[in-house]
Amino acid sequence: MGLLNGLMGHASAVPVEKLTKEFQPILLDDEQIEKAFRLIRDMLVFTNKRLIVVNKQGITGSKIEYQSVPYASIKMFSKESAGMLDFDAELKIWLTGEASPTIKQEFRKGDNVNEAYKVLSRYVLK
């Protein structure tokens, strides 16, 4: 189901252990990955310091953009849970100075969106 969910545009959880080596060059010495969610090739990576939005580009995905979003720049966030006939949930994040959500991510039905929401709550609501 993981591949099918990815193809349908739904984020699925990625084990943190699998990302440690890939992200080591860009993480600070005291920074740890808390949670990560993959959508086909792109990812949302929540650390104890920031949100990293990963955008793999091109056919091979060898060109990668890492967008760092400090939690302090997030002014609002919301989650929309999956409904009875609507099988996906959505996470929306507004950054300071933006009228509409800058980051939108769909999650499959289940607890994944709640996990992302909890990490945001822990760091944005300090």
What are the structural domain ranges in the chain?
A: 16-125
CA distance 71 to 122: 10
Q: Domain 16-125 maps to which CATH number in 1.10.260.40, 2.30.29.30, 3.30.70.20, 1.10.540.10?
A: 2.30.29.30
Question: Model pTM?
Answer: 0.83
- Kindly report, residue by residue over 71-99, the tens digit of the pLDDT: 999 999 999 886 666 667 889 999 999 99
Question: If DSSP codes are grouped into helix, strand and coil, which group holds residue 13?
Answer: strand
- Structure confidence by residue, pLDDT tens digits, 5-52: 443 455 778 999 989 888 999 999 999 999 999 877 789 999 999 999
Beta bridge partners of 17: none
Type of residue at 40: I
Could you give the CA distance from residue 109 to residue 31 in angstroms, rounded to a whole number? 30
Q: Give the three-class secondary structure for 106.
A: strand
Per the model's pLDDT, the better-predicted residue between 3 and 123 turns out to be 123
